[in-house]
């Protein structure tokens, strides 16, 4: 079970990737195509061409985790459509996406806010 907390940054690759890529291929994508450090501990989310499966790449200071979820029926209907190659998600939006919900409809408070005296 993954522990997805607000302290984790979540980056979602908008375009589909070749799902034959493993840990090395996905970390190279993060580094070369997105100019991001795969060793940062952030969550990197990818989808296949049919949008029926997603992969999550995470580094936890000891090694990489590569998680995959494939839907038994249908596709991830609410995958963002934008011209950007990568977008940032909140941990709540990722949890909604993993349940095949609409992450754009998530309306939550920011994880940190100033408390006045």
Residue 2 belongs to some domain of the structure? no
**pLDDT above 70 as % of the chain:** 91
DSSP 3-state of 104:
helix
State how many domains the chain has: 1
Residue 21 belongs to some domain of the structure? yes
Task: Name the average pLDDT for the chain.
Answer: 89
Residue 82 belongs to some domain of the structure? yes
How many Cα neighbours within 13 Å face the side chain of 9?
A: 11
Mean pLDDT value of segment 47-52: 94
Could you tell me the sign of the dihedral formed by the alpha carbons of 14, 91, 107, 101, in that order? positive
- Range(s) of the domain holding residue 43: 10-105
**Whether the predicted pLDDT of 108 surpasses 80:** no
- Note the pLDDT tens digit of each residue in 62-105: 999 999 999 999 999 988 888 889 999 888 889 899 999 888 88
pTM of this prediction? 0.85
Identify any residues that bridge with 52 across adjacent strands, giving them in sequence order.
Answer: none
**Whether the predicted pLDDT of 117 surpasses 80:** no
Distance CA 95, CA 39 (A): 22
Residue 110 belongs to some domain of the structure? no
């Amino acid at each position: 079970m993954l522990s997805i907390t607000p302290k984790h940054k979540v980056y979602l690759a908008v375009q589909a990737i070749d799902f034959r890529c493993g840990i090395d291929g996905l970390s190279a994508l993060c580094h070369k195509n997105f100019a991001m450090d795969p060793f940062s501990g952030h969550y990197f989310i990818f989808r296949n061409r049919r949008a029926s499966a997603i992969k999550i790449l995470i580094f936890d200071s000891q090694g990489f985790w590569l998680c995959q979820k494939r839907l038994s029926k249908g596709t991830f209907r609410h995958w963002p459509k934008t011209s950007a190659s990568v977008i940032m998600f909140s941990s709540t939006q990722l949890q909604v996406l993993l349940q095949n919900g609409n992450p754009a409809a998530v309306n939550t408070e920011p994880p940190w806010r100033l408390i006045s005296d």
